[in-house]
């Protein structure tokens, strides 16, 4: 079947932070695909540029017709060529002319339109008929750093993974239970706690990093015992946000501590050992492949060390990381690289080299559920998409629906 594109429509919609973001409809002769782009707050320096200088308004008012005229008549199934045409229309190295959020929303909407023209869900269109694995959800429990206000911990994300869950429904409800338990535990430690949440729905406590690590571990243990499901703590340190290049130190403002790279290696290793961490993301600055390599050599046999700002979903940066043995996991955020076909190429390279691909949301999200389909379609062992909040549960609930549709669903393996 040929899924000829008949129209491309671009609009400005709200994201979860109340900022404008882009939504695209791609219409073929027999189907429609819709996708919206997310946005980051702790973005990596080597991500593509999300929008042209004039922002989304410039895309909607000046570029919609240009983009549509290029794509109309093309086959939505030929995503690689479509993504190349979008890059040619942009004409820059970093997609700054039409914006990586513009190209990624179009790219995802094209794939969804192609899938819909076969009456097929996106995960099946990408992963094939035999795909049957659900990702374990990395649930966001407490927020600090760039995703929270002052007095919050410096570590950006305190996460949990219900590694003992045998189905996605138990897994997402286990995460929600830990989130509830943590509210009680924070209240007992922090008399100023108002119940405030960060950008990704985690609580924002006014406590030290150590205190947050302790209650995170306690909540995992208590809820895990109650449910009979092993739940392991995890972190996104987002260390690029803490790195002060002039001082060559990581600044932990909440704790009043500065750490050089050697101290940071010891600090993170100690946390991994003490709390039996399952996963630690961005423990070093985005330029410090060496620090990543040293830590991975020490703890990579028992903990996933994941690069987010380090790799920005970029195949070349991942190749460098593979060469240097810098990490054993990679965050996959399609809008960091600007197209679904390049996202796929990065996932493929990761899998070929036993690097765990972790499909992820951004801190600014919409109710778009595409990444749930990508995680299943790519057979990604993990998905990072929050635990509660409308824009987060849009993905989690979609995973529950996908599990129901699959003939022999099973949780993924690591």
| From ligand PEP, Mg ion, none, interface partner of 43 (C-beta below 5 to 8 A by class) | ligand PEP
Q: Which residue is nearest to ligand PEP (CB)?
A: 40
Residue 42 or 209: the one with the smaller Cβ distance to ligand PEP is: 42
Please identify, among the stretches 54-62, 248-256, 276-284, 362-370, the one whose residues bind Mg ion according to the rule CB under 5 A: 276-284
Q: Which residue is associated with the tokens 């050089």?
A: 260
Give the shortest CB-139-to-ligand PEP separation in angstroms: 13
Residue 218 pairs in a beta bridge with: none
- Please report whether residue 385 would count as binding ligand PEP according to CB under 6 A: no
Q: What is the CA radius of gyration of the chain?
A: 21
Q: Pick from 236, 286, 342, 391: which binds Mg ion (CB under 5 A)?
A: 236
**Measured from the CB atom, is 52 or 135 closer to Mg ion?**
135
Q: Is 333 a catalytic residue?
A: yes
Identify the DSSP state of 259: E
Q: Where are the alpha helices (DSSP H) in 118-260?
A: 122-127, 168-189, 209-227
- The reply to whether 117 sits near ligand PEP by the rule CB under 6 A is no
Q: What gap in Å lies between CA 136 and CA 123, rounded to an integer?
A: 16
Binding mask 278-317 for Mg ion (x = CB under 5 A): ---x--------------------------x---------
Q: Is 43 in the site for ligand PEP (CB under 6 A)?
A: yes
C-alpha span between 398 and 156 (Å, rounded): 26
Per CB under 5 A, which of residues 97..126 are in contact with Mg ion? none
> Smallest gap, in angstroms, from Cβ of residue 208 to Mg ion?
21
Residue 304 backbone class (left: φ over 0; alpha: ψ -120 to 50; beta: rest): beta
The single residue among 293, 296, 314, 363 that binds ligand PEP, judged by CB under 6 A, is 363
Neighbour-count burial for 263-276, b at 16+ CB within 10 Å, e otherwise = ebbebbbebbeebe
Strands (E), 44-151: 133-134, 136-143
Output the known binding site for substrate: 147, 157, 281, 308, 360-363, 384
Structure token digits, residue 30: 């027999």
154 binds Mg ion (CB under 5 A): no
Q: DSSP letters along 330-347, please?
A: EEE-HHHHT-HHHHHHHH
Q: Judged by CB under 6 A, which stretch of 37-45, 97-105, 268-276, 286-294 contacts ligand PEP?
A: 37-45
Nearest in space to 366 (alpha carbons), one of 385, 338, 384: 385
112, 124, 333, 395: the active-site residue:
333
**Tokens 């649930």 correspond to what residue?**
139
> Can residue 6 be called a binding residue for Mg ion (CB under 5 A)?
no
H-type alpha helices, 281-328: 289-299, 315-324
Contact segment (CB under 6 A) with ligand PEP among 70-78, 98-106, 254-262, 355-363 equals: 355-363
Grouping H, G, I as helix, E, B as strand and the rest as coil, residue 398 is helix
- How many alpha carbons lie under 13 Å from residue 100 in its C-beta half-sphere? 25
> Which segment (16-24, 38-46, 123-131, 184-192) binds ligand PEP by CB under 6 A?
38-46
Interface residue with ligand PEP, options 6, 308, 369, 398 (CB under 6 A): 308
**Residue nearest to Mg ion as judged by C-beta position:** 308
Clarify whether 200 is annotated catalytic: yes
> Which distant-in-sequence residues (6+ apart) come within 8 Å of 168 by Cβ?
134, 137, 399, 400, 402, 403, 409, 411
Least CB distance to Mg ion at residue 249 (A): 20
Tell me how far the alpha carbon of residue 351 is from its chain's centroid. 17
Binding site for ligand PEP (CB under 6 A): 40-43, 236, 238, 308, 331, 360, 362-363
Binding site for Mg ion (CB under 5 A): 236, 281, 308
Residues serving a catalytic function are 200, 333
């Amino acid at each position: 079947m040929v899924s000829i594109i008949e129209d491309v429509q671009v609009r400005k919609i709200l994201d979860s932070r109340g900022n404008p973001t882009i939504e695209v409809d791609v219409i073929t002769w027999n189907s429609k695909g819709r996708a919206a782009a997310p946005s980051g707050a702790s973005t990596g320096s080597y991500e593509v540029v999300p929008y042209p200088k004039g922002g989304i308004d410039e895309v909607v008012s000046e570029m919609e017709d240009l983009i549509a005229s290029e794509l109309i008549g093309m086959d939505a199934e030929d995503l690689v060529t479509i993504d190349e045409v979008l890059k040619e229309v942009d004409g820059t190295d970093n997609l700054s002319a039409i914006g990586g959020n513009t190209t990624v929303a179009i790219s995802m909407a094209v794939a969804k339109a192609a899938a819909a023209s076969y009456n097929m869900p996106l995960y099946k269109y990408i992963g094939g008929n035999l795909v049957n694995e659900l990702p374990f959800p990395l649930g966001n429990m407490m927020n600090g750093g760039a995703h929270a206000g002052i007095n919050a911990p410096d570590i950006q994300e305190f996460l949990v993974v219900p590694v003992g869950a045998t189905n996605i429904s138990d897994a997402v409800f286990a995460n929600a239970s830990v989130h509830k338990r943590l509210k009680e535990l924070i209240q007992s430690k922090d008399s100023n706690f108002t119940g405030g949440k960060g950008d990704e729905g985690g609580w924002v406590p006014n406590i030290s990093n150590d205190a947050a690590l302790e209650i995170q571990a306690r909540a995992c243990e208590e809820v895990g015992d109650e449910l009979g499901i092993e739940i392991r703590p995890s972190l996104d340190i987002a260390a690029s946000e803490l790195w002060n290049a002039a001082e060559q130190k990581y600044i932990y403002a909440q704790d009043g501590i500065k750490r050089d790279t050697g101290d940071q290696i010891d600090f993170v290793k100690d946390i991994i050992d003490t709390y039996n961490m399952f996963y630690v993301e961005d423990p070093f600055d985005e330029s410090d492949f060496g620090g990543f390599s040293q830590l991975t050599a020490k703890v990579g046999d028992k903990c996933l060390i994941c690069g987010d700002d380090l790799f920005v979903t970029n195949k070349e940066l991942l190749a460098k990381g593979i060469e240097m043995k810098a990490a054993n996991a990679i965050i996959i955020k399609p809008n960091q690289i600007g197209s679904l076909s390049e996202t796929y190429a990065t996932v493929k390279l990761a899998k070929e080299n036993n690097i765990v691909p972790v499909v992820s949301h951004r801190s600014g999200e919409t109710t778009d559920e595409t990444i749930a389909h990508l995680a299943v379609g790519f057979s990604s062992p993990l998905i990072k998409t929050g635990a509660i909040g409308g824009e987060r549960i849009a993905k989690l609930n979609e995973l529950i629906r996908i599990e129901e549709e699959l003939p022999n669903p099973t949780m993924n393996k690591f």
